[in-house]
Amino acid sequence: MPTLYTLGHSNHESATVLGLLRQHGVDLLVDVRTVPYSKRHPQFRKHALESACREAGIDYRWRGEQLGGIKRDSACRTFDEAAGRPGFVEALGELVTLARAQVPALMCAEKEPMACHRTALVCRHLAARPDARDLAIWHIRADGSLEDHRTFERRLVAEMGIDAQDLFAGDPVQDAYDALSVKMTGAR
């Protein structure tokens, strides 16, 4: 079964992040930060991270232009608008293809998957693709433990206060993603 992981670099040292990747057999890091730069954590600037990955035997690709979140000066105000950007759907297809040949991990800055576009935007749309139905998505937690994407979605529904038992409501997972998008972007 093809597998894709996600993680946030948080305030870890680069050796810790690389250790988490190795612990789970990841051999390709796909950086989905819109701006691959960190003032507070220079070890996660694009060139430093790319070099550290190379030394660790892990491939590195930046896909923030296609899969990044919403910048303050962006024309996109919502995750739905971001999903309509040129290259977004093609980049999701590339992730599916990569997961069939390697073990990739999407990386952004936030350690909590619920606070990051890598789940609210990228994994939401990736998991809905027909060609990704057999793709296992796992979120690597800061302590190295894993949360599978379906468990994450159940937690999201609960956290967003969506009544999953309401027979007259829409899809509770999609409603939870919509609520999370509003919470994260402030846009309706």
Distance separating alpha carbons of residues 131 and 61, to the nearest angstrom: 22
Average pLDDT over residues 121-137: 97
- Angle, helix 46-56 to helix 14-23, in steps of 10 degrees: 50
The answer to whether 99 and 138 are in contact (CB under 8 A) is no
The answer to whether residue 75 scores a pLDDT higher than 90 is: no
pLDDT band at 188 (very low <50, low <70, confident <90, very high): low
CATH architecture of 3-148: Alpha-Beta Complex (3.90)
**Domain ranges, ordered by start, for the chain:** 3-148
How much is the pTM? Answer: 0.94
- pLDDT by residue (tens digit) across 83-121? 998 899 999 999 999 999 999 999 999 999 999 999 999
